[in-house]
Every structure is written in C-alpha cells, then in structure tokens.
C-alpha cells in the first residue's frame, strides 16, 4: 500500500523505549496489535486484509484489493464454535440455556468491541476518509467486526487450533464476568428512566496498566450530573461497578426521600390534629357561650 493513514507520511524513526514516550499512540499500531494478539502472521497479507474496512477499499482499490468482510464472516463462525467449546469445558455444571446466554454475552457487539479496546484495534484499522471523520475508530460495530476478521485471519494463517487459542486468550478471562442474575446496568437504567426520565451514559475516564493488568475507570452520568464512578479490569466491569455504586446512591436517596416524605406527612398530620383540636375547642367555647347566653335569656326579669 502506498499510503497507510495509521502511520505518518514521513519515514518513521526507530521506536524509542516506552519510558521515553510516555504519551501518544505507538509509532506502529499494527506491530503493537500483533504483539497483543500473540500471533505472528506467516502471511502478512491476511493481517492487512483483516484490518481493511470496506470504506478504505472503496477509495483505494489498487492499494487495498480486499476488505475484511469475508474474514469477518469466517471469524464470526469460528468465534461461536470456539466460545461454545470453551464454555462447555469450563462450566460442566451449567445448563444449556445458561450456556447459550453466556455465549451471547461474550460474542455480542459490545463484548467484542471491548476486546478491541484492550487490543487498541481501532488505531490499526484502515478506514476511508468519511469513516475516519465520523469517528470510525471508536464505533463498536466496526471494532467488533475487526475482532471477528482477525479471528478469521488467524484461522486462514495457522488453522482452527490457533484461532481457537486466540479466542481463549481474548475471551477466556471474561467467562467469569458473566452473571446469572440481572446486571446492575439494566437495573439502574430502569430506575433512572422511572425516577429521573433519563438514560444513564457511561464515559471512559482513563485506562491504565500493562496489557495483562489493564485497569479501566468510567463515569456514570445522569443528564449533566456525574452521578457515580467505577473501576474494573475491563470497561464492562467498570461500568457494572459504576452502576452498582449508582444503585447504592439511588437507594440511599430513595430512603432519604421516603424519610423526608414521612416527616412531612407526620408534620402535616400533627398540624391537622392541632387545627382540629383548636376548632373543637373553639366550637366548644362557642357552644358554651351560646348556652350561657340562652341561660341568661331564660332567667326571669326581676323588675317584672
């Protein structure tokens, strides 16, 4: 390819040690991606194809004669088979329905996009100009498709066992993240929509640590308010933690509101009781006064 938008147009200088470049993207995102994948491609053309989005292919057919959709199709099937085998092996006591649910959680768009984040896959993708301008490197759909294409490329490069091993490396640590109960994000979203008429938003604040011990921190926002924050080993885990913290805060706010409402109701009842007592006393006084007046009126006039 005559021009790669992932790299500077001038020849890149040799990569310096990480300590000498504490910030900014790596000089060669493809090399970084290959290192994180843990697979050295014998056929580099397969890797290039897996990273080429259709938008780039449409603009540069001579430099990029293939795009990644065929590899994505292949990788999707391999992912499903590899994840199914992994869950079957690791969870011998889990019933079929629960295995199906867990597999869906692992291979869904959001889950694969999160895997792409840990690989920094977005930085290595080849995108057309329009897709680049629209933020394609952060779009979950493109990132998830890229992961599937990479799995397909590894299969074509080294066979099913190598592709299945890659799937285990990427998704194996997440098997324990799936839960049988309803997740905190769903529960809190229902609370927020019911009580605040808004949908929570999650913003990635920071991502720290080496590849094998990555830490994510996210903010949960309700409207313009930073309502809660959470940390975790993955973005999904951090979002779940933020939602859990938000649920605790919401529960406390609900209890406080209930206490305040109970106090207002008690004060209103006390005021109503005082008013009723005062009215009864006033009525009793009026009746007594009227009776006294009637008694005086009934007395004989001594002058008659």
Task: Please report the DSSP string for 85-152 in residue order.
Answer: HHHHHH-TTS-HHHHHHHHHHHHSHHHHHHHHHHHTGGGG-B--HHHHHTTGGG-HHHHHHHHHHHHH
Encode pLDDT of 122-163 as tens digits.
Answer: 999 999 998 888 888 888 889 999 999 999 999 999 999 999
User: Does 131 fall in a domain?
Assistant: yes
* pLDDT of 51 higher than 90: yes
pTM for the whole structure: 0.54
Say whether both 137 and 215 belong to one domain: no
Encode pLDDT of 271-294 as tens digits.
Answer: 999 999 999 999 998 988 888 887
- Cα of first residue to Cα of last residue in the chain, in angstroms, is 133
Rounded Cα–Cα distance for residues 242 and 260 (Å): 26
Tell me which residue of 80, 87, 81 sits closest to 102, measured CA to CA. 87
Rounded Cα–Cα distance for residues 203 and 238 (Å): 10
User: Does 288 fall in a domain?
Assistant: no
Say whether both 61 and 89 belong to one domain: yes
Rounded Cα–Cα distance for residues 218 and 225 (Å): 14
Which amino acids are annotated catalytic? 76, 148
Look at residue 6 in the predicted model and tell me its pLDDT: 58
Say whether both 200 and 172 belong to one domain: no
Number of structural domains the chain divides into: 2
Q: 154, 178, 202 — which closes off a domain?
A: 178
The contacts found for 131-138 with CB under 8 angstroms, 24 or more apart, are: 131/53, 131/55, 131/56, 132/5, 136/53, 136/55
Burial grade of 245 (CB within 10 A; 0-12, 13-18, 19 or more): middle
Say whether both 87 and 121 belong to one domain: yes
Domain ranges, residue 167: 28-178
User: Does 114 fall in a domain?
Assistant: yes
User: Does 193 fall in a domain?
Assistant: yes
**Higher-confidence position of 62 and 125:** 125
Rounded Cα–Cα distance for residues 143 and 99 (Å): 25
- Give the tokens for residue 143: 């990132």
Say whether both 136 and 220 belong to one domain: no
Q: Which residue has the tokens 């984040």?
A: 117
* CATH number for the domain that contains residue 217: 3.30.160.20
Mean pLDDT along residues 156-177: 89
Say whether both 195 and 146 belong to one domain: no
User: Does 119 fall in a domain?
Assistant: yes
* pLDDT of 4 higher than 80: no
Rounded Cα–Cα distance for residues 269 and 42 (Å): 81
Say whether both 75 and 202 belong to one domain: no
* CATH number for the domain that contains residue 93: 1.10.1520.10
Give me the sign of the Cα torsion angle 147, 151, 152, 156.
positive
Q: 131, 160, 178 — which closes off a domain?
A: 178
Say whether both 113 and 64 belong to one domain: yes
């Amino acid at each position: 390819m005559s021009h790669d938008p992932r790299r500077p147009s001038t020849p890149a200088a040799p990569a310096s040690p990480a300590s000498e470049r504490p910030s900014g993207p790596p000089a060669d995102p493809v090399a970084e991606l290959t290192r994180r994948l843990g697979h050295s491609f014998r056929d580099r053309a397969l890797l290039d194809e897996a990273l080429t989005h259709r938008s780039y292919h449409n603009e540069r057919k001579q430099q990029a004669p293939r795009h990644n959709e065929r590899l994505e199709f292949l990788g999707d099937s391999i992912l499903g088979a590899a994840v199914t085998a992994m869950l079957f092996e690791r969870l011998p006591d889990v019933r079929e329905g629960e295995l199906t649910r867990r597999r869906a959680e692992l291979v869904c768009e959001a889950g694969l996009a999160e895997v792409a984040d840990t690989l920094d896959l977005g930085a290595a993708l080849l995108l057309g100009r329009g897709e680049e301008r629209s933020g394609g490197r952060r779009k979950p759909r493109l990132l998830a498709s890229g992961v599937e294409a990479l799995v397909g490329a590894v299969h074509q490069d080294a066979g099913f066992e190598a592709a299945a091993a890659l799937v285990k490396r990427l998704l194996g640590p997440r098997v324990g993240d799936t839960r049988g109960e309803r997740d905190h994000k769903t529960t809190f979203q229902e609370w927020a929509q019911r009580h605040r008429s808004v949908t929570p938003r999650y913003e990635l604040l920071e991502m720290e640590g080496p590849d094998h011990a990555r830490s994510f921190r996210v903010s949960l926002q309700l409207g313009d308010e930073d309502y809660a924050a959470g940390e975790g080993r993955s973005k999904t885990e951090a979002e779940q933690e933020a939602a859990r913290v938000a649920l605790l805060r919401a529960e406390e706010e609900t209890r406080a509101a209930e206490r305040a409402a109970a106090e207002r109701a008690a004060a209103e009842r006390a005021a109503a009781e005082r008013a009723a007592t005062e009215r009864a006393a006033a009525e009793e006084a009026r009746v007594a006064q009227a009776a006294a007046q009637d008694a005086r009126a009934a007395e004989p006039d001594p002058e008659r």
